[in-house]
Amino acid sequence: MKSSSDKSIRRAAALLREARRGVALTGAGISTPSGIPDFRSPESGLWKRYDPMEVASLRAFRHNPERFFAWLREIASGIHAARPNPAHYALVSLQQAGYIHTIITQNVDALHQRAGARHVLEVHGSLETLTCTRCYHKFRAADYMEAYLENGDIPRCADCGGILKPDVILFEEQLPIQVWHQAQEAARTCDLMLVAGSSLTVMPVAGLPMQALNNNAPLIIVNKAPTYIDVRAEVVLRGDVAELLPLLAEETLHG
């Protein structure tokens, strides 16, 4: 089994070394080693405990913001305490070496940026900023985080007093259109796509690898569970991304 895995890592590294416009597509699996739970895993996903339409939809936020912020507090606390793990740093090393140009992420935790990544497209938004629901002014979440996490204070606009909505994409919301267009363009024009820690079950993001394949870009998948597109991938590495991505980066850079 180990020799088979080593061979796959060498093959994936060879593909990466040929890339000049590589794209990494990351999901919750790249952040779970940092202690951030995912949403959909059968055993421990957050949707096993909550009905997403009751706590994480736009309707829920508008009709009962108190309940929304009470639910979000646990998640925000975990993200605030989390630190980038070896998988994040491995992608940064590949980006700095010029093999990965763009990182498209479904995560809202900004761990890629904290690890030093550049050109990160957050297609599901971010918890780093807040927008007033009344006057639409934007604010840094860090300025409200202490009072929210310690006391549960709902963040309100310093200008008009309106409730500040975290800039994450809730159920019933559209993806941020400019970021989504950039992600599609990156997928259509890349010369390699590396999927890391995503089950590729959430549309429309799950369709991005198909756009890369339509451009004849090779596909590498690193994930614990199978995905719908494994059969089309040049290399599939099955396991923990925090273990496999550093091995892949080391082989690419120094193998």
Read off the DSSP letter of residue 191: S
CB 117 within 8 A of CB 92: yes
CA 205 to mean position of chain CA atoms: 11
**On the CB side of 164, how many CA atoms lie within 13 Å of its CA?**
26
- Catalytic annotation on 124? yes
Q: What angle, 0 to 180 degrees and rounded to 10, lies between the N-to-C axes of helices 142-151 and 65-81?
A: 110
Cα dihedral 166, 206, 117, 224 in deg (nearest 10): 110
Read off the DSSP letter of residue 101: E
Give the DSSP H or E segment for 143: helix 142-151
Scan for tokens 């790249």, then name that residue. 30
**DSSP-derived 3-state class of residue 165:** strand
Scan for tokens 């927008």, then name that residue. 131
Give me the catalytic one of 88, 101, 124, 181: 124
Instruction: Give the residue numbers marked as catalytic.
Output: 124
